[in-house]
Chain A
């Protein structure tokens, strides 16, 4: 018995030791959970109790280069209902349905759902502030009015393809809204209340507010004035020619910044559903690709000048109206040809055989090298989705015939933006830039500029001297050649026409052309490149020089005036043909007696205002050049006033 008793004691003490050890273990673990894991567990627990009422961030504005608003937000609150907090759903359903104009039983069904938070779509989503106020004044438990906003485009269809639009959740769906969605959208905040597991407010706990972070504003390189001019001109063109479509681009050749970009048909971003998806999804200036036609000759010209295979003034070319290439006869657009001419005249006349010859002088490799160097065959890198690359001949399949047609812009396919970017490089001193839209990012709180886009110069394609010669040639085209329609007095416009036959299923369509013109001004120091293309204009000669050139002229003239670019003194004077009249220089008549004017015979209409014998002031100012038959206004007074 004795040893047994001893063993019992030993084992009892062992049991006590184990028990105490377990107690220490439990207390240690309790401390670990409550102190070490406490903070982490508290965060998790609070998240599990919190029911978030979202507090939307305000989407960043899109503005033009001068800060004019192009896309903004207007307050549009949303209704949220916490079903478990609604005390009398039947009564609430009646009230809500009468305010939102929604069937009562649908509202009732919604606000009695087994959900922590429900929305009443679409009536209770992004409401007018008046509806929100009405709901707020009901003062019903379980109803929350969440601050929210709706995208608003103050100028309607203006710049719509570039801006794109945002959806119901303010998420960017197309255009810049999509491309820069992350930067523009910011991050949402919330107001949270703590709820028990059955959805009731937990007693004695305050609400938690997480502030939303608003999206950044973006200033585009787009100039609202230039864009308005383009939109206006495209509207007029649509009305005049009923075309299948139209495209307009304006670029700052010194940075690659887009000054304006538009196309037809267009759409209103707030009612994009009214048009077929292909209209709002296809931003034609960057998406569409087609045969450029003669505008492409600028590339051939620039390459030939850079490689010094031609002297525009000294070298001569005889155009019999066609040229033989690899047994094929390629015709000039002009029946009978242009006859004997300098190569400057070849450019002015847009003479196809002349350009084929330039292409032959360059050779296949050099010609295509330059085309690639100018950025064709790849995306330009503009900050928009859905850019096309264009289609060039596969190098392995290029024979003399392909080389010849490429030299005057047939058989290749390019995007409008590629052409504008390449021409900008040809005239700006030879520098190929990456085109862009977003210029500056602006802090929504402070309005400070956070980030400024530096122009990206990809490479120098041709020399400054060559570029200058290209500018001289293009100014000749407008002053003396096929581009006269684009002439703007005082702004030294240069440019090149383009007329491309549209093809379908590998065949050219009859009497169906995309007529285009690409213009640059002022030629001594280019500030703008403008491209206009009209797709299948009706009831007109389908020539770029006839249809597109005058539109480019209007856009350039008005834009440069809006951009406050000084008119130039010396310019290449326009060569007149029988439809043109010589411009009249306005004489200085201030101070002259009215009687003297009666004897003069200016080719102008004279209109007088005021009474008196002497001219006090005049409009337009002396030295201005106007068309014959324009009106000059004279303000009359007595001699003393005139002498002042």
Chain B
């Protein structure tokens, strides 16, 4: 009875948008992956079936989290954090961590495996939200307020970079920094940190100039069409012909082995190819609605911890959407970041839905809507 009541009070916009995005994702994963699935596994529904399973798992997690008060988890955050650190270390051990695409990022057996860095992303948000709430008075001081947080984030980032998985690491750092900013850190601190970042970047470029070239190659992918520009070009070859209404569902051409693994990082390219500008814009709008509802929750909730947690979840989503779609439409250098809710992938989808469950629970505790 009580849980039922809660369900009525959750943010329905948020829930609706989430379910819609997951549904679009499942459909697009099928269309994008069918050719590859048939080629690699002799079963065009291979990825579809698994994505359906992940979506189900994720929605279960969402429902569970939605119905358990978010406060319940707060005492366990240090423990969760510790476990995540241990997992991040274990995954680095050759023979234990599974290597895919040059990065040792997976733990598990065969087809069913998890990415500890995905867990860390979420745990970090929770921990940072917790610390921001506890140490609010200190946040205007660098030494007592900001620095311990930076130390924590930096350590996790360092471990993730050992895999290496720059994409996930960057998403976590950017999200956490946004939370610290919202949490009251001084603008000046960010200016100094920014300068520090510029210097560090300059040093990196000086020590290995190819890095700059790799970063800027997305501006003109044709300068290295078979190397760093290959994925960008193939992505643009999908989107360009899409036009206003697209080629029609299932009629992508680039999914026929031109675009590598179109069901993960480049799912938005296939979506814009088959569904055209209209579908692409609708998806971006749905993400905007999600963001609006999320920030609204952060604004209205009294509990600072909940507020920061909501900001973190929205930030996580915003950063990933920005980078993923940015890469696909040629605004960003290619980095391995998935599109929340849409991309194929077990860990990312279930954990993202779990996070939405948390957010929904927060929304159910708003005093007045």
Instruction: Name A residues whose Cβ lies closer than 8 Å to a Cβ of B.
Output: 4, 7-9, 11-13, 15-16, 19-20, 22-23, 25-27, 29-31, 33-35, 37-38, 40-42, 44-45, 48-49, 194, 196-198, 200, 202, 204-205
B318 near A: Cβ within 8 Å?
yes
Q: Which residues of B contact A9 (CB under 8 A)?
A: 299
Please give, as numbers and ranges, the residues of chain B lying within 8 Å of A26 by CB-CB distance.
Answer: 284, 321-322, 325-326, 329, 331
Tell me if A30 and B284 are in contact (CB < 8 A): yes
Instruction: Select which of A25, A30, A42, A204 is within 8 A of B241 by beta carbon.
Output: A42
* Contacting residues, chain A, for B280 (C-beta < 8 A): 27, 30, 34
Instruction: Number of B interface residues at 8 Å Cβ cutoff, please give it.
Output: 50
Contact for A30 among B183, B237, B239, B298, CB less than 8 A: B239
Q: Which residues of A contact B237 (CB under 8 A)?
A: 41, 44-45, 48
Binds A, one of B101-109, B157-165, B251-259: B251-259
Q: Is the interface of A mostly helix, strand, loop or mixed?
A: helix
Report how far A9 CA is from B182 CA in the complex, Å.
9
Is the beta-carbon distance between A19 and B291 smaller than 8 angstroms? yes
Residue B96 is within 8 A (CB to CB) of chain A in the complex: no
Nearest CB in chain B: distance from A529 CB, A: 60
Min C-beta distance of B328 to chain A, whole Å = 9
Q: How far is the CA of A1 from the CA of B241 in the complex (A)?
A: 55
Report the separation of the CA atoms of residues A31 and B251 in the bound assembly, to the nearest whole angstrom.
Answer: 20
Tell me the bound Cα distance from A198 to B35 in angstroms.
11
A197, B242: Cβ atoms closer than 8 Å: no
- Interfacial chain A residues near B315, Cβ < 8 Å: 15
- B268 to A, closest residue via Cβ: A30
Contacts of B307 in A (CB 8 A): 8, 12
- Any A CB within 8 A of the CB of B69: no
Query: Across the interface, do A41 and B236 meet the contact criterion of CB distance under 8 Å?
Result: yes
List B311-352 residues whose CB lies under 8 Å from chain A: 311, 314-315, 318, 321-322, 325-326, 329-331
Interface: B60 (CB within 8 A): no
Q: Is B199 engaged at the interface, CB distance under 8 Å to the other chain? A: no
Number of cross-chain contacts by CB at 8 Å: 129
How many angstroms between the C-alpha atoms of A627 and B298 in the bound complex? 125
CB neighbours (8 Å) of A27 from chain B are 280-281, 284-285
The answer on a CB contact under 8 Å between B182 and A8 is yes
Interface of B is mostly: helix
Q: Which residues of B contact A196 (CB under 8 A)?
A: 35, 253, 256-258
**Considering the chains assembled together, what is the distance between the CA atoms of A204 and B252 in angstroms?**
10
How many Å lie between the Cα of A19 and that of B321 in the bound state?
10
Contact A30 B251 (CB under 8 A): no
Contact A34 B244 (CB under 8 A): yes
Decide: B243 and A30 in contact? CB cutoff 8 A.
no
- Min CB distance A412 to B, Å, is 61
Contact of B257 among A20, A23, A198, A205 (CB under 8 A): A198
Beyond A13-B295, A33-B239, A38-B241: 8 further Cβ-contacts under 8 Å? Answer: A4-B184, A15-B178, A20-B291, A22-B322, A23-B288, A33-B240, A34-B276, A41-B239
Of A7, A16, A40, A205, chain B has the most CB atoms within 10 Å of the CB of A16
> Counting CB contacts under 8 A, is B135 at the interface?
no
Other-chain residue from A19, A20, A38 in contact with B240 (beta carbon distance below 8 A): A38
